[in-house]
Amino acid sequence: MREISPLDGRYADAVGHLSAYFSEFALMAARCEVELRYLVALDEIGVFPKLTRAEKARIEATRVLTDEDFARIKEIESTIRHDVKSCELFLREKLELAHPNRIHFALTSEDVNNLAYALLLSRYRDREQLPQLRRLVAALADRVKRWKSVPFPARTHGQAASPTTFGKELAVFLHRLVRQGRQLEALRFRGKLSGATGTYAAAVVARPDVDWIGFAARFVTDLGLDPVACTTQIDDGDGLAEYFAGTSRINNIVLDLDIDLWEYISRGDLVHRAVSGEVGSSTMPHKVNPIRFENSEGNLGVSTALLHALADKLTHSRMQRDISDSTVKRNIGVALAHAYLALQETLGGLDRVDLDAAELQARVDAAPEVLAEAYQTLLRVAGMGDPYEALRGLTRGRTISLAELHAWIDDLPVDAKLKARMKALRPSAYVGLATALCDRVTAEAAAWLAA
């Protein structure tokens, strides 16, 4: 294969279907859709003589762009070197309207382009991105439920810390993703339709009797977008930047998940199942590598870097406009496709992760020093002078057994009941409200998934 991008080569099977939103063909089809819908909207306010029934039928028949149509547009573009003008000339040929000047009437290219991109991105968000995020949320929720009570060795600063459960640790990511999912779902894409420098000048000079601001707002709203009230020639890019920022936050949450799971696998906290027929190393036959999480991590890095660059670039324009944004926008699909590929890899990695509950409990109980927090907290309530300092001297920087801790408890100037309570504590049971937190977060996820 001779593709430049791995998205179109190595990963084509995973992301090839996204060409429905991010290819040159998809963009051209969306431009034509905007032009055709604009024709119909113009007809409704009587700027030109009414379309005939036959003309309306031809407009309707042209709504689906064919390969032949696309080839013709590109043929025109090869001569005139202007993509949106090529759409206009193609539609003049194709529709054979009695008044062809109504096509692209009082529009600038960016009126068409910004609406086309917004349509494609809103459809990608609704048809691909959100459903994939919901699959990841559902997969995490399933595992949080299954593993909510399984003790897990926690690490802060890489050192043994107060234990947790593995379900609760996954619930942290689940909670974050549900919040971002709600925000992504609520985001409204924006669009403008206000002419060459955002003043509606051409439309007003031709038909000063029409409420062009109201017309544009209705048209943009009918596309499922929010109208931008005041712009230069181009949309300000703020709405796109908000979308890219939201997607970047999701990327970073999944990246955090990938890295933690990779670390847990590397320490032996998690079981990483082998797949029959796979090879983990060209020289070390025993290897079972967590490559799905590694692939996800790499693709998330590429995606997030591009999304940040897009957000920075597309919110700047020289005066009323320059064309540097145009070539940059063509990379939107690259950024989003890398994110989509990454989440697919994370989902695949999750399918290969399992737990050995007995082994994890043994690991947690093998570090009784983590009970120092529980002991000093109980002793604070009991009124002991400075239990933190006493336990710091006993436990900090050294391995200590449960028997040694119990011997220390025996010498404490507290009542026997409290001593018995302290001795009954085990690290694997010192997980606080982890199970309740899991229940709360999975209920939250279920509510979003059912909405």
Q: Give the number of C-alpha atoms closer than 13 A to the C-alpha of residue 270, restricted to the C-beta side.
A: 27
Known active-site residue 316: no
Known active-site residue 281: yes
Q: Which residues, in sequence order, are bridge partners of residue 76?
A: none
* Phi–psi pair at 76, nearest 5 degrees: -65, -45
Burial class (CB in 10 A: 0-12, 13-18, 19+), 145: middle
* Phi–psi pair at 388, nearest 5 degrees: -60, -50
Which of the following is catalytic: 78, 157, 282, 286?
157
Token look-up 């990695």 returns 349
Q: Which amino acid makes up residue 400?
A: I
**Cα–Cα distance measured from residue 64 to residue 56, given in angstroms and rounded to the nearest whole number:** 14
**Cα–Cα distance measured from residue 324 to residue 317, given in angstroms and rounded to the nearest whole number:** 8
Contacts 24+ apart (CB under 8 A), 16-20: 18/124, 18/128, 18/333, 18/336, 18/337, 18/340
Which of the following is catalytic: 5, 266, 281, 401?
281
**Cα–Cα distance measured from residue 104 to residue 116, given in angstroms and rounded to the nearest whole number:** 14
Checking phi first, is residue 153 left (phi over 0); if not, alpha (psi -120 to 50) or beta?
Answer: beta
DSSP for 94-140? HH--SSGGGTTTT--HHHHHHHHHHHHHHHHIIIIIHHHHHHHHHHH
Question: How far separated are the first and last CA of the chain, in Å rounded?
Answer: 43
* Phi–psi pair at 319, nearest 5 degrees: 45, -125
Is 145 in contact with 442 (CB distance < 8 Å)?
A: yes
Residues 6+ apart with CB under 8 A from 97: 51, 55, 103
Residue 17 is given by DSSP the state G
**Cα–Cα distance measured from residue 21 to residue 2, given in angstroms and rounded to the nearest whole number:** 22
Residues 6+ apart with CB under 8 A from 399: 369
Token look-up 């709600």 returns 182
Helices marked H in 109-237: 109-124, 130-146, 166-186, 201-206, 212-222
Please identify every residue annotated as catalytic. 157, 281
